[in-house]
Structure 1
Amino acid sequence: MTLVEHYDTETTENTRLLRSPHGRLEFRRTQELVRRAISGPGKRVLDVGGATGVHARWLAADGHSVHVVDPVAGHVAEAAHLEGVTAEVGDARALTWPDSSADVVLLMGPLYHLTESGDRAQAIAEARRVLRPGGLLFAAAIGRYLSAMETGTNGQLADHITPSVEAVLNTGRYDGHVGFVPAHFHTADELRGELETAGLSEISVYGVEGPAWPALDVAGIDEFDARVDAALRCARLVEQDPLLINASAHFLAVAVN
């Protein structure tokens, strides 16, 4: 199944960050980290791989001008209906925006969907091209240890799945064994290295959810409100701790062009 087919038939992207406890935690922390780095309203934001506008919606409400680029036509149609948001079908590796035309670029999905390193490098290069000097890049990645932590916590880590979990730990190549399409799973150092190689500066990589996210999922959605504050505090405490950063399900890198 292709990426476009997956998002057309297998998932409702505008609810992905709401339907699971760790998705809700990811959404809150992503908002927190992005807002921490962006100073003031009025930024020209290019949301590459922005899907249905999950992040574009709140960025526009914060006073930014947001344009979504996504390969899925259905996503683009939904995003285009949001107030303060425009959208187009496009590819992270070949953006239509001119050089130095964006204050902020978000790559919230392309770096895990582009499974080949050369394609990821091209997407980062395109983000740099359209960013003005001094502009901010936000780049998300899925953590290499996600499936080991998820299946080890929810009781699903058994003989039949262990080779796939080992493979993603060793190579970053994820085969879909806990759902989702095949993807590339990063380590925090690998994500930093890709941005450094592209020539970006002042790179900070954050663990988004911290180490408590699998326990939130096991506890269930009904327990989320009672447990989320502690999970958020934990995530903040160790968001750049070199010994725990890779326990997060996702990373968010912030870099300057």
Structure 2
Amino acid sequence: MTLVEHYDTGTDENTRLTRSPHGRLEFRRTQELVRRTISGAGRRVLDVGGATGVHARWLAADGHSVHVVDPVASQVAEAAGIDGVTAEVGDARALTWPDSSADVVLLMGPLYHLTESADRARALAEARRVLRPGGVLFAAAISRYLSAMETGTNGQLAERLSPAVEAVIATGRYDGHAGFVPAHFHTADELRGELETAGLSGISVYGVEGPAWPALDVAGIEEFDARVDAAVRCARMVEQDPLLINASAHFLAVAVN
């Protein structure tokens, strides 16, 4: 199944950040980290790989002008129906926006879906091209340790699965063994290095969910409200700790053009 087929027929992107405890934690922390950096309103935001507009919706509600670019036509049509949001079918590696035209670029999905380093470099180069001087890039990535932490906590890390989990830790190449499509999983240092190579500056890499996220999933959605405040405090406490940052399921890198 291709990436477009997966998102067009195989998944409900609207519920990805609400249907599981760790998804809800990811969404809450992503909003927190983005708003911490771009307070106020009135930014021109290009949401690359923005799918159905899950992030575009709240950014537009915050008073920003948001344009979604995504390769899946059905998701683009849905995003375009959100007040304050425009959308187009496109590719992170070849954006249609002119140079220095965006205040903010979001890459919330392309860096893990682009499994070849050359393609990730092209996407980062395009993001930098369309950003104005001083503009801000937010780039999300999946941790190489996600699969080990998830399957080790939920009881699914059987002997037959161990080689695949060890391989993604060693190489970053995820084969889909725990669900999802094949993807590239980063370390925090690798993500930082890719942004540095792209010529971006002022780079900060944050662990989004912190180390408590697998326990939230095991406890179940009915326990989320009782446990989430502690999980968020834990995530904030170690969000840039070099010894624990890779225990997050996702990273969010923030950089300046």
Query: TM bucket by the smaller chain?
Result: over 0.9
Whether 1:232 and 2:232 are equivalent positions in the alignment is yes
Segments of structure 1 that go 5 or more residues without pairing to the other structure are none
> Which residue number corresponds to residue 7 of structure 2?
7
Q: 2:58: which partner in 1?
A: 58
2:185 is paired with a residue whose SS is: strand
The equivalences for 1:102-181 within 5 A come to: 102-181=102-181
How far apart, CA to CA, are the structure 2 residues paired with 1:10 and 1:28?
A: 25
- Counterpart in 1 of 2:101? 101
The offset of 1:39, in angstroms, is: 2.9
Partner of 1:255: 255
Ranges of 4+ aligned residues in structure 1 off by more than 2 Å: none
**Cα deviation digits, residues 69-110 of structure 1 (max 9, x gap):** 000001100000000000000000000000000000000000
User: Helix, strand or coil for the counterpart of 1:186?
Assistant: coil
Aligned match of 2:77 = 77
Q: Deviations over 1:22-75 (max 9, x none)?
A: 000000000000000003200000000000000000000000000000000011
Which residue does the alignment assign to 2:29?
A: 29
Distance in 1 (CA, whole Å) between partners of 2:220 and 2:10 is 22
Q: Give the match's secondary structure for 2:170.
A: helix
User: Per the alignment, in what secondary structure is the counterpart of residue 140 of structure 1?
Assistant: strand
Please give the TM-score of this superposition, normalised by the length of structure 1: 1.00
Q: What letter matches 2:244 in structure 1?
A: L
Residue type of the partner of 2:161? I
Please tell me the root mean square deviation across aligned C-alpha atoms, in Å.
0.4
1:140-174 Cα shifts (integer Å, max 9, x gaps) = 00001000000000000011111100100000000
**Structure 2 counterpart of 1:48:** 48
Structure 1 Cα separation of the partners of residues 206 and 39 of structure 2: 18
Percent of aligned positions that are identical: 89
Structure 2: 5+ residue stretches without partners? none
Q: How many residue pairs end up in the alignment? A: 257
